[in-house]
Amino acid sequence: MLEETGLTGAWPTGLDPATDASGSANQSYLDAIYGNLFELGANGQTIDDLATGYTIAADDKTVTIELRHGVTFSDGTPFNAAAVAFNFKRDLAAPVGDTPKWPVSSITTSGSYDVVIHLTQPYAPLINTFHDANVNWIVSPTALSKMGENAFKLAPVGAGPFTVVSDTVSSELALKKNPRYWAPGEPYLNTLTFKSVASDEAALETMQAGGVQGYEGMQTPQLVSAFSQQFNVLDVPSTSPYVIQLNTAVAPFSNLAAREAVYYATDVPVIDQKLFGNLHPVTEGFTAPNGLFYQQDVPGYRTYNLAKAQAAVKAAGGVTVDLMATQSSVTQTVLEALQTMWQAAGMKVTIHVDQLPSVIQQFESKTWEASLQTAGAFDPAAGLGVNFRFGSASIFSGVHDPALDKIFANATSTLNTSSRQTLYDQAAEYISQNAYAPFLFPVNGWNIAAKDVAGPGLTTLIPASAVRPEILWAQVGFTSK
């Protein structure tokens, strides 16, 4: 399997869920090594994996996770409540971006197979957060203790369908079948190897040369036809729209007029049409049609108006901006389109793309100015969702607004679905009113597979929990063997 270097094809901090700074981007590797407690199924249903269910007590503040019996980690040690509770405590204390924001008072066990999460208040998205958070990937406490964190992150041990053979960081990860895997007959593959590739074009050439069976997350619409001539191509709708994040803590975007200039100068339908052939539904909110609480049109949203953009630039006393993005096969062209549009409005714009680790460092420095990223998850409170991109406590946010934080907090503590919809509608309108960050459209992708390969998420569609859907690696196999 090929993975693009700029995002999914890099794991510089290793593959320990508690220390992997790119965790959700590394989802395929983590799923293959650790499996999942829960998977996301059709219509947002939670599918059991290493967990077999959950119960929520009458007080809505006590959640019990029920574990599968008889499972062992690949090192032969028991996969049980004590191991999972250890992981939850360790992961929730981790500083990585995919740590969920559970309002936890304590985590305990009840017998060998029940883990009890005690909350300080109801938290509606708790189960949904598993789908793209570090708590879904459970490490062997014994292996971690024996090896130490530095060695473990390069040769991690889980209870998933595969085990690590070798790990050349951000280049090649070789895995083999886990003989202790809990599901009889799975995984179907004896070996699974992930290799980094520079671009969609390079992936096409590599696959055409033979010896590679798949490529995950191809993003260039113009290459779909070329891939389709030889391979299976699965169109994968995303739950994550592009967002132009603006750092409101520093100039120029601490100034409302400068933020308004970006809104008015960005002709989103033209970008969609010229670069993507109108493939994506233009959206004014922070979710996509495949996620919960989708809102395509937001009242009062500022749309393209060159004259208003020029006036806003003048009102701001001029706008000079550095615009960055995470490297992919399409982000450079999107940045160039934005640069052209913004310069037409009178802004001075420099652009650059970087691999994900470098982008994370720039967010951590808090000196970045504008960034083209994605915002979204199946549940807006999970993963790369609205809290991640707009919450004051997130290092990946450019917004620090207590009023917006309060709306998010109310939405997570409200269990009624229609009430949550109303609150997220309020959040979208509040973001729009303050011109905190314009949205573009969801980022579709395509999974590519050889004609004799099939598997859920790779050749048949399952919902996307984050930027891309899970591929159920235990069930990927060759159709002719």
Q: How far apart are CA 439 and CA 436, in angstroms?
A: 10
**What pLDDT shows up at residue 464?**
47
Residue 116 clears pLDDT 90, i.e. is over it: yes
| 119-122 long-range Cβ contacts below 8 angstroms, 24+ apart | 119/61, 119/62, 119/63, 120/61, 121/61, 121/413, 122/60, 122/61, 122/413, 122/414, 122/415
Confidence of residue 481 (pLDDT cuts 50, 70, 90): low
Quick check: 143 and 152 in contact, CB under 8 A?
yes
Average pLDDT over residues 436-456: 94
**What pLDDT shows up at residue 288?**
85
Q: How far apart are CA 413 and CA 52, in angstroms?
A: 25
Average pLDDT over residues 231-241: 88
Provide the mean pLDDT of the chain: 94
Q: How far does CA 326 lie from the centroid of its chain?
A: 13
Confidence of residue 6 (pLDDT cuts 50, 70, 90): confident
Quick check: 396 and 389 in contact, CB under 8 A?
yes
Average pLDDT over residues 41-46: 71
Beta-bridge partner residues of 320? 348
Residues of the chain with CATH 3.90.76.10: 13-145
User: What superfamily would CATH give domain 149-237+444-478?
Assistant: Periplasmic binding protein-like II (3.40.190.10)
Residues of the chain with CATH 3.10.105.10: 241-442
pLDDT in tens, 281-324: 899 999 888 788 988 999 999 999 999 999 999 999 999 999 99
Beta-bridge partner residues of 323? 351, 370
Q: How far apart are CA 391 and CA 379, in angstroms?
A: 15
Residue 235 clears pLDDT 60, i.e. is over it: yes
User: What superfamily would CATH give domain 241-442?
Assistant: Dipeptide-binding Protein; Domain 3 (3.10.105.10)
Residue 164 clears pLDDT 80, i.e. is over it: yes
Main-chain phi, psi angles of 410, to 5 degrees: -65, -35
Architecture of domain 13-145: Alpha-Beta Complex (3.90)
Residues of the chain with CATH 3.40.190.10: 149-237+444-478
Neighbours of 75 (CB within 10 A): 14
**What pLDDT shows up at residue 14?**
96
Model pTM score: 0.91
